[in-house]
């Protein structure tokens, strides 16, 4: 297997020579970012109603605290967290609660989520916010993150407080994700240009609270303005803060890939970045942390990139959470009726068919493009372009064959679960095979089969336990009987012995 | 399955057709070098091969109830035809190339399920079929025109291919001879030394400029470098193949230079460069993992040298490739690369 390692080393070296990238694979889709960076971040009038899904994060749904008809102020908590894993939800503006019910959300299966509907009164009356003390321990940071409803705003939606290690000093480096590698999306770029101080202050606050000695901000080198803005906002501190330009290559913004690029280390497949003493936050999340501390307000708004070739005035907008997509798209102007709507970028976005789908805390982009011509799908010629593009170093073409044949054990053996569904493989496939779709099906099939297996195992264990219990009962009873019988026999014998003549003794 | 059900929603410009045309482009200089040495025979062979291949492919697609147009126009058939005509003697009768192509398309490709599903390289299967079936025709090569007193003109070439007739003034023996590999093989079997073979055999007269094998190999090498540059093929297969040939040829030549030909002879004779860059690199039937490709190349190189030197055929690319095709799935299974985040310690960080 020495030769295998040698070949991999040569390939890594060739890749680094060509792309200056520390991880395997990656692709260069057309960026199309300039169309939405021509104007500063815009604001627009409130939508008629804001739809606030109770499950914007990964974890249990928040619990409504308001009733229909109730008037709320901006920043008022309208749904509390479901402990221990959830986050609370706040009213983005003042207005009246008009409904609590099921509304569409951007989800691959087009499902609905329980949501609170708020009709803004247009006054935007704020609840009273008080600046918080700068957090000095992981616990105080955790409290701020939780009470402000902060979740990973780069798109993951993982509640931020759950990432925080319990002990100070467990994390030595905070990595700030400003890579924004998906085509079309520029909301982080614009935020870095316009609010660099908030991002840097937010980063220093988090690093301080965690006892981290180092902050590494990674920005793709296609955002020189954002890089310059952050460099200007950089200030001297006891914490070693570095702003690093990384090569523009998709998926640089994927957390594991950015960590590998910046530190040269790989995040273990069965572990987390905290195992390496690292934690990662997106720039928008850090700006939210800064606001939560310096002003005291929870997450009310976010910057969304409103873009695509079917949009009249592509730009970035700062909108209240809950704003329906349609409101935004109409404001920016829709050039074409049969356009395709996506939440997110073209590589990993989710199709949106219901235009009332609201902006949630993780919505970074609404992408409206003219419909793509249907690609002609040809057979796999095993060319291996997908393998060369895979940032995880999987064997996509073999996963494809096994997924197609439903060979679940082979899918597991080839580590399908490590697939991040970034879409590089499908992007480079000369046969235009929708590979990621096969992997999603395969993952579900593996999970279902494992759940079935676990259930069967559990049933078997219960059955065996029952049999064992019965056998034990039986044994105990028979032993008891045997003992009884033995005792009786012994008594009989004793009686007989007593009756017997005592010649022998 | 509808493309738009799942991300990504954009994809690159590359497609199967482009891949096939790039290979065709890379082989074009070799076609002209071939024509320079042997006349227009190769173009006629190519026309026959393409006609037969397209008809057979269309018929098979029809019989298999597959849509004809998209599959016919993936142009993978061009590469099959190309590889076959480069292997055949340029003036061999039309039915030789037709049988090779029919065998390749019908039995090696469509019987196994068509493009992407065939386990054997169709071109090599087709070539091996005619090589075994019609050995007499296959071992007689047209001599380079420079070594012939009155080379055939275009019309005479057409007549020779389609009717196997020649003008009375020309004798077939004046046109044909052994290839360099064939000549050395026969010579060695007759217990001649390599230096006497090189001094006496017709094919070696005329110096390096007349050495068709050498220039064909050079043009395949250049075409191959172009394919590498364009990312159509990966470095492991040619490197592995040429490395194996280099090691074996240098070693045995060192042991006995009169019995074992030199490294440069092996690298620039026969189908060495054609195999290294155009044949063993067929993605469908080769190994697909990064190190698997190297093993595949190494294996093919070893087999070619062994069969050339001690086997029953002058050149051995077809058999080497077909044998390696059988091993490809096993090589792939044995060479799964390390996945990101695997095989590293996942102990919690101590600080």
Tell me the pLDDT tens digit for each residue of A55-102: 888 888 899 999 999 999 999 999 998 877 889 999 999 999 999 999
In a domain, A415, yes or no: yes
Q: Which residue has the higher pLDDT, B288 or B15?
A: B288
Is there a contact between A427 and B295 if contact means CB atoms under 8 Å apart? no
Is there a contact between B3 and A375 if contact means CB atoms under 8 Å apart? yes
Using alpha carbons only, what angle is made at residue A193 by residues A192 and A194, rounded to the nearest 5 degrees? 95
* Residue in chain A lying closest to B113 (CA): A379
CB-based contact, B9 to chain A, within 8 Å? yes
**Considering only CB atoms, which chain B residues are within 8 Å of A182?**
none
Q: Are residues A309 and A359 in the same domain?
A: yes
**Considering only CB atoms, which chain A residues are within 8 Å of B346?**
268-271, 275
Q: In A153-300, where do the E strands start and end?
A: 173-178, 214-220, 240-246, 278-282
Radius of gyration of chain B, Cα coordinates, nearest whole angstrom = 22
In a domain, A164, yes or no: yes
Q: Which of residues 93-132 of B touch A (CB under 8 A)?
A: 114-117
**Considering only CB atoms, which chain B residues are within 8 Å of A27?**
12
Q: Are residues A328 and A398 in the same domain?
A: no
- Separation in Å, CA of B298 to nearest CA in chain A: 11
CB-based contact, B329 to chain A, within 8 Å? no
**Cα distance between residue A76 and residue B253, in whole Å:** 87
Picking from A3, A9, A287, A345, the residue whose alpha carbon sits closest to that of residue A148 is A287
Is there a contact between A436 and B3 if contact means CB atoms under 8 Å apart? no
Q: What six digits make up the tokens of B32?
A: 């002209």
Q: Are residues A143 and A272 in the same domain?
A: yes
Q: Which of residues 190-249 of A touch B (CB under 8 A)?
A: none
**Cα distance between residue A307 and residue B220, in whole Å:** 48
Mutating which of B1, B5, B12 best tests the A interface, going by the most A Cβ atoms within 10 A? B12
User: Of the candidates A170, A348, A384, which has its C-beta nearest B351's C-beta?
Assistant: A170
Q: Which residue has the higher pLDDT, B233 or B178?
A: B233
**Considering only CB atoms, which chain B residues are within 8 Å of A378?**
15-16, 70-71, 74, 115
Q: Are residues A105 and A77 in the same domain?
A: yes
In a domain, A237, yes or no: yes
CB-based contact, B310 to chain A, within 8 Å? no
For chain A, the domain total comes to: 3
pLDDT for the residue numbered B349? 44
Q: Are residues A320 and A273 in the same domain?
A: no
Contact criterion met (CB below 8 Å) for B176 and B143: yes
Q: Which of residues 257-296 of A touch B (CB under 8 A)?
A: 260, 266-271, 274-277
A23 - beta bridge partners? none
In a domain, A493, yes or no: yes
**Cα distance between residue A166 and residue A147, in whole Å:** 17
pLDDT tens by residue, B262-317: 998 899 988 899 999 999 999 899 999 999 999 999 999 999 999 999 988 888 89
- At B286, is the secondary structure helix, strand, or coil? coil
Q: Are residues A172 and A150 in the same domain?
A: yes
pLDDT for the residue numbered A505? 46
Contacts of A93 (CB under 8 A, 6+ apart): A46, A50, A74, A118, A120, A124, A300, A320
**Average pLDDT estimate for A305-319:** 94
pLDDT for the residue numbered B15? 83
CB-based contact, A497 to chain B, within 8 Å? no
CB environment A192-205: b (16+ within 10 A), e (fewer): bbbbbbbbbbbbbb
Picking from B161, B213, B191, the residue whose alpha carbon sits closest to that of residue B44 is B161
**Average pLDDT estimate for B144-166:** 81
**Cα distance between residue A57 and residue B281, in whole Å:** 48
User: Of the candidates A4, A394, A431, which has its C-beta nearest B335's C-beta?
Assistant: A4
* pTM (predicted TM-score): 0.86
User: Of the candidates A276, A379, A380, which has its C-beta nearest B349's C-beta?
Assistant: A276
Q: Which of residues 428-447 of A touch B (CB under 8 A)?
A: 428-432, 434, 436-437, 440
* CA-to-CA separations, B129 to A457, B52, B118, B319, in angstroms, rounded: 54, 16, 16, 11
Is there a contact between A381 and B16 if contact means CB atoms under 8 Å apart? yes
CB-based contact, B71 to chain A, within 8 Å? yes
Q: Could you tell me what percent of chain A has a pLDDT over 90?
A: 67
Is there a contact between B7 and A347 if contact means CB atoms under 8 Å apart? yes
**Cα distance between residue A288 and residue A153, in whole Å:** 9
In a domain, A34, yes or no: no
**Cα distance between residue B351 and residue B339, in whole Å:** 27
* A55 C-beta neighbours (distance < 10 Å), count: 20
- Separation in Å, CA of A484 to nearest CA in chain B: 58
Burial (CB < 10 A; 0-12, 13-18, 19+), residue B346, is: middle
CB-based contact, B347 to chain A, within 8 Å? yes
Mutating which of A383, A433, A444 best tests the B interface, going by the most B Cβ atoms within 10 A? A383
**Considering only CB atoms, which chain B residues are within 8 Å of A271?**
341, 346, 348
Contact criterion met (CB below 8 Å) for A414 and A399: yes
pLDDT tens by residue, A335-357: 988 899 999 999 999 989 889 99
Domain range for A204: 130-294
Q: Are residues A400 and A469 in the same domain?
A: yes
Q: What six digits make up the tokens of A108?
A: 């691959």
In a domain, A33, yes or no: no
**Considering only CB atoms, which chain B residues are within 8 Å of A344?**
7
**Cα distance between residue A182 and residue A503, in whole Å:** 107
Sole residue written with tokens 């250049």: B222
**Considering only CB atoms, which chain B residues are within 8 Å of A434?**
1, 3, 5-6
pLDDT for the residue numbered B133? 93
End-of-domain residue from the set A240, A263, A294: A294
Q: Are residues A85 and A124 in the same domain?
A: yes
pLDDT tens by residue, B225-271: 999 999 889 999 999 999 999 999 999 999 998 889 899 889 998 88
End-of-domain residue from the set A257, A273, A294: A294
- Separation in Å, CA of B6 to nearest CA in chain A: 6
In a domain, A2, yes or no: no
CATH of the domain at A382: 1.10.1060
Mutating which of B290, B297, B331, B351 best tests the A interface, going by the most A Cβ atoms within 10 A? B290
Phi and psi, residue A343, nearest 5° = -100, 120
Is there a contact between A391 and B335 if contact means CB atoms under 8 Å apart? no
User: Of the candidates B116, B332, B346, which has its C-beta nearest A275's C-beta?
Assistant: B346
**Average pLDDT estimate for A121-128:** 89
Q: Is the ipTM of this complex over 0.95?
A: no
If you count residue pairs, one on A and one on B, with CB atoms under 8 Å apart, how many are there? 187
Is there a contact between A381 and B115 if contact means CB atoms under 8 Å apart? yes
Picking from A261, A299, A268, A57, the residue whose alpha carbon sits closest to that of residue A179 is A261
In a domain, A361, yes or no: yes
Q: Are residues A135 and A281 in the same domain?
A: yes
* B95 C-beta neighbours (distance < 10 Å), count: 17
- Separation in Å, CA of B293 to nearest CA in chain A: 10
CB-based contact, B1 to chain A, within 8 Å? yes
Question: Which region, left, alpha or beta, applies to residue A69 given φ > 0 means left and ψ of -120 to 50 means alpha?
Answer: left
**Cα distance between residue B310 and residue B317, in whole Å:** 14
- At A314, is the secondary structure helix, strand, or coil? coil
- pLDDT bracket for residue B346 (50, 70, 90): low
**Considering only CB atoms, which chain A residues are within 8 Å of B284?**
381-382
End-of-domain residue from the set A262, A294, A326: A294
Is there a contact between A277 and B351 if contact means CB atoms under 8 Å apart? yes
* A338 C-beta neighbours (distance < 10 Å), count: 7
**Cα distance between residue A108 and residue A437, in whole Å:** 11
For residue B6, pLDDT over 80 is answered with no
Q: Are residues A186 and A317 in the same domain?
A: no
Q: Are residues A86 and A111 in the same domain?
A: yes
- Separation in Å, CA of B235 to nearest CA in chain A: 9
Q: In A189-345, where do the E strands start and end?
A: 214-220, 240-246, 278-282, 301-307, 315-320, 340-343
pLDDT for the residue numbered A426? 93
pLDDT for the residue numbered B302? 96
Q: What six digits make up the tokens of A284?
A: 């928008």
CB-based contact, A423 to chain B, within 8 Å? yes
CATH of the domain at A211: 3.40.50.11540
Work out the mean pLDDT of chain A and round it to a whole number. Answer: 91
**Cα distance between residue B71 and residue B212, in whole Å:** 36
Q: Are residues A448 and A358 in the same domain?
A: no
Q: Which residue has the higher pLDDT, A295 or B314?
A: A295
Contact criterion met (CB below 8 Å) for A367 and A337: no
């Amino acid at each position: 297997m020495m030769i295998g390692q040698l070949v991999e080393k040569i390939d890594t070296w060739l890749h680094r020579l060509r792309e200056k990238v520390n991880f395997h694979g990656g692709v260069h889709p057309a960026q199309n970012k300039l169309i939405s960076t021509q104007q500063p971040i815009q604001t627009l009038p409130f939508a008629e109603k804001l739809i606030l899904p109770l499950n914007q994060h990964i974890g249990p749904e928040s619990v409504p605290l308001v009733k229909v008809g109730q008037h709320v102020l901006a920043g008022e908590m309208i749904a509390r967290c479901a402990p221990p894993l959830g986050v609370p939800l706040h009213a983005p503006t003042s207005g009246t609660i008009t409904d609590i019910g099921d509304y569409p959300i951007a989800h691959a299966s087009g499902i609905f989520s329980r949501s609170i509907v708020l009709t803004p009164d247009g006054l935007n009356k704020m609840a009273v916010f008080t600046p918080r003390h700068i957090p000095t321990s992981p616990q105080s940071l955790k409290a701020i993150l939780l009470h402000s409803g902060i979740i990973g705003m780069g798109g993951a939606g993982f509640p931020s407080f759950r990432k925080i290690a319990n002990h100070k000093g467990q994390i030595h480096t905070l990595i700030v994700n400003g890579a924004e590698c998906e085509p079309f999306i520029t909301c982080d770029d614009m935020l870095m240009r316009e609010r660099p101080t908030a991002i840097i202050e937010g980063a220093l606050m988090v690093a301080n609270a965690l006892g981290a000695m180092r902050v590494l901000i990674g920005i793709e080198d296609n955002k020189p303005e954002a890089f310059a803005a952050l460099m200007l906002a950089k200030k001297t501190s006891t914490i070693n803060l570095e702003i690093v330009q990384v090569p523009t290559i998709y998926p640089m913004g994927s957390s594991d890939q950015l960590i590998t690029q910046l530190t040269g280390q790989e995040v273990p497949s069965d572990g987390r970045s905290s195992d390496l003493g690292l934690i990662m936050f997106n720039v928008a999340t850090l700006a939210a942390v800064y606001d939560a501390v310096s002003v005291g307000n929870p997450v009310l708004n976010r910057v969304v990139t409103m873009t695509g070739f079917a949009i009249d005035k592509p730009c970035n907008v700062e909108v209240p959470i809950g704003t329906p997509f349609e409101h935004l798209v109409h404001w920016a102007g829709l050039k074409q009726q049969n356009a395709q709507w996506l939440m997110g970028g073209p590589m990993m976005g989710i199709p949106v068919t219901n235009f009332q789908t609201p902006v949630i805390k993780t919505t970074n982009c609404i992408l409206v493009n003219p419909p793509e011509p249907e690609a002609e799908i040809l057979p796999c010629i095993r060319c291996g372009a997908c393998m060369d593009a895979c940032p995880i170093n999987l064997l996509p073409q073999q996963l494809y064959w096994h997924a197609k044949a439903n060979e679940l054990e082979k899918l597991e053996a080839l580590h399908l679960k490590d697939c991040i569904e970034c879409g590089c493989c499908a992007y480079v496939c000369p046969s235009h095979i929708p590979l990621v779709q096969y992997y999603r099906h395969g993952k579900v099939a593996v999970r279902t089969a494992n759940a079935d297996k676990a259930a069967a195992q559990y049933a078997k264990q219960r059955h065996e336990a029952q049999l064992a219990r019965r056998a034990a009962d039986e044994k105990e009873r028979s032993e008891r009987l045997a003992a009884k019988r033995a005792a009786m026999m012994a008594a009989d014998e004793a009686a007989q012995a007593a009756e017997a003549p005592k010649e022998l003794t | 399955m509808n493309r738009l059900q799942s991300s990504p929603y954009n994809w690159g410009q590359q497609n199967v057709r482009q891949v096939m045309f790039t290979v065709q482009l890379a082989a074009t200089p070799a076609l002209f070098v071939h024509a320079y040495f042997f006349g227009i025979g190769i173009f006629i062979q190519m026309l026959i091969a393409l006609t037969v291949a397209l008809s057979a492919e269309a018929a098979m697609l029809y019989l298999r109830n597959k849509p004809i147009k998209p599959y016919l126009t993936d142009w993978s058939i061009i590469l099959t035809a190309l590889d076959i005509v480069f292997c055949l003697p340029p003036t061999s009768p039309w039915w030789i190339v037709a049988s090779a192509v029919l065998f390749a398309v019908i039995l090696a490709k469509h019987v196994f399920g068509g493009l992407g599903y065939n386990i054997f390289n169709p071109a090599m299967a087709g070539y091996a079929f005619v090589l075994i079936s019609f050995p007499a025709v296959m071992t007689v090569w047209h001599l380079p025109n420079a070594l012939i007193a009155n080379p055939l003109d275009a019309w005479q070439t057409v007549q020779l291919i389609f009717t196997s007739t020649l003008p009375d003034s020309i004798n077939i023996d004046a046109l044909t001879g052994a290839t360099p590999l064939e000549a050395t093989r026969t010579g060695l079997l007759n217990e001649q030394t390599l230096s006497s073979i090189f001094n006496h055999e017709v094919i070696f007269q005329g110096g390096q400029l007349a050495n068709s094998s050498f220039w064909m190999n050079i043009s395949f090498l250049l075409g191959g470098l172009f394919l590498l540059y364009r990312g159509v093929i990966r470095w492991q297969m040619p490197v592995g193949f040429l490395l194996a040939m280099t090691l074996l040829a240098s070693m045995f030549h060192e042991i006995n230079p009169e019995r074992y030909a030199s490294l440069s002879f092996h690298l620039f004779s026969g189908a060495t460069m054609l195999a290294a860059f155009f044949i063993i690199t067929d993605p469908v039937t080769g190994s697909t993992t990064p190190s698997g490709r190297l093993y595949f190349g190494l294996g093919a190189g070893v087999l070619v040298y062994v069969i050339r030197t001690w086997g029953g055929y002058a050149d051995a690319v077809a058999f080497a490739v077909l044998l390696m095709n059988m091993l490809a799935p096993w090589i792939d299974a044995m060479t799964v690369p390390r996945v990101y985040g695997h095989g590293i310690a996942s102990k919690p960080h101590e600080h």
